[in-house]
Every structure is written in structure tokens, then in C-alpha cells.
Amino acid sequence: MLVLASPPGGGKTTISREIAKRDPETVISVSATTRKQRPGEVEGQHYYFVSKEKFEEMIKSGDMLEHALVYNNYFYGTPRKPVEKALTEGRDVLFDIDWQGNRSLAKVAPNDVVSVFLLPPSWDELAHRLHNRAQDSEEEIARRLTKARDEIAHYREFQYVIVNRDFEASVAAVRSILEAERQKRDRLVGIQSFVDTLKPGN
């Protein structure tokens, strides 16, 4: 389970989608949220848009792998079943979530979570990216910048940190982390059986 987090506008969603596009063994976990659907967002692709009541039901029934209440009092969370299905199929799951989600996942599966935090090259660049989206009001952008300060303060909780100065370089860095983590001895299914064949005559 590869967690990719950043402050709003830090690039985690764009980079996550690019990693999944280039790597067929990786699938993006789709979060559920109680916030309203934005223009251009597709149900089941960007998020599962649910009511607060439905979200609370999913928590009570154990259908959420992790969840958090974020700014504006919206809930975000990861439905359990799609993640477990992908892992069972031998695929890596990429999580585009915040520090709260990362902390929750690390508690649930400490040996399976690899966490990466993306930092912006500067505060001015981060504000510029948020304004360039043209999706939110000035009030919403101000809220997101406040959230960004809080997000950045949690970067020490992540195993890897990348300063997202250049898109291609950041994608390459995340892919390098993913490949290295796949080669860890404990993740190599069947490696002992293979080693056992490395004898004269085999």
C-alpha cells in the first residue's frame, strides 16, 4: 500500500494518476467522501460521493479501512473491499490521502504501508497552483492554504519526502521508491522456493 500525500495543490493526485497509467501493477484506491461532486469529477473514478449517513453506516459496519473528518466538516475514507481485492490479485494499491489517513493505515497494516510526502517548491508556487485550478472561490482557496500549513507540519510522519519541483522528476522518484519497496525480501512471494532451486544440476 503506497501512500502519496501532499498539501492541497502539492501534486499528489496528478502524480498518482500518472503512476497508475504507467504501471499496470498499480491501482489507485478510490476514496469515499461526503462533500459535493465538483465539475469534471466522475463517480467511482475520482471519489464515491455518499451521504453523511451512508458514510457513518460504512464506518459502523467495518467497511472503511481508514477515515477522517477534514476541513469544512467533510468526511473522507477508504472503502475496504476494493483495496483487499486488489491486494489479493497481487497488485499494489496507491492511496491519494492526507496525513490522518496515512496514520490510520499505518496502524492497520504497519508492515504493508510505504508513505511518501510531496512538498511544493515554495509557498508562492503552492498558492499559484491553487489559484490556477479555477475551481474554488477565494474563500475556499484561503481555507486550503490554511490546511496546507497543517499538512506540511506532518511531513516527518512519512518515510520518504520529495520536493515536487518538476513533474517528470517527481514521477520518476515515486516509481523508484515503488520498485525498491517491491524488491524487499519480505515482499518477494516464493523467494525461498526459488532460492532452493539454485543448486548444481537445477
pLDDT of residue 143: 84
pLDDT of residue 202: 65
- Cell for 63? 467497511
Residue 67 burial (CB count, 10 A): 22
Residue 57 burial (CB count, 10 A): 13
Residue 99 burial (CB count, 10 A): 23
Sheet holding 64-70, edge to edge: 47-49, 31-33, 74-79, 64-70
The fold of 2-182 is: Rossmann fold (3.40.50)
- What are 20-46's pLDDT values in tens digits? 999 999 999 999 999 999 888 999 988
Contact 116, 159 (CB under 8 A): yes
Nearest residue to 161 (alpha-carbon basis) of 20, 56, 4 = 4
| 72 Cα distance to chain centroid | 20
- What are 125-181's pLDDT values in tens digits? 998 888 887 667 888 888 888 889 999 999 999 999 999 999 999 999 999 999 999
- What are 58-88's pLDDT values in tens digits? 999 999 999 988 766 788 999 999 999 999 8
pTM: 0.86
- What are 100-127's pLDDT values in tens digits? 889 999 998 888 999 999 999 999 999 8
Listed in sequence order, the DSSP H helices in the chain are 12-22, 52-60, 80-88, 99-108, 123-132, 138-152, 167-182, 191-196
